[in-house]
């Protein structure tokens, strides 16, 4: 994604309003934008929990190589990257 003067309000989103990440760098960039917005941080936390729950629920019936499973796995990984970056920023700011 281009990072030219983007804020989290203008970030590309799905029809449900979930942020779209193309790669891990997007997830980390988004984390830097939302670090002071607690509602959005909790939203990412909720999205990761929902995605992980859905993945585990579907994994009993579907092959992990199916496109729906790969999509859920990648979304889960991007949400995790975003939350990890938020954690790193918080630790770094606390250390200062």
Total-model pTM: 0.85
The whole-number average pLDDT for the span 21-46 is: 93
Residue with tokens 């992980």: 52
Is the alpha carbon torsion for 51, 35, 30, 27 positive or negative? negative
- The reported pLDDT for the residue numbered 81 is 96
pLDDT at 16 over 70: yes
Give me the torsion for CA of 73, 12, 6, 30, rounded to 10°: -20
pLDDT at 28 over 90: yes
Rounded to the nearest integer, the mean pLDDT of the chain is 88
- The reported pLDDT for the residue numbered 96 is 58
Exposure string for 10-49, b = 16+ CB within 10 A, e = fewer = ebeeeeeeebebeeeebbbbbbebbbeeeebbebbeebbe
């Amino acid at each position: 994604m281009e990072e030219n003067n983007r804020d989290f309000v203008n970030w590309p989103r799905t029809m449900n309003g979930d942020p779209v990440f193309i790669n891990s760098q997007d997830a980390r960039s988004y984390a830097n934008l939302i670090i002071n917005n607690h509602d959005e941080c909790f939203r990412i936390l909720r999205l990761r929990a929902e995605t992980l729950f859905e993945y585990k629920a579907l994994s009993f019936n579907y092959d992990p190589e199916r496109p729906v499973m790969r999509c859920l796995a990648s979304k889960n990984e991007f949400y995790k990257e975003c939350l990890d970056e938020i954690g790193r920023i918080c630790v770094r700011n606390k250390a200062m």
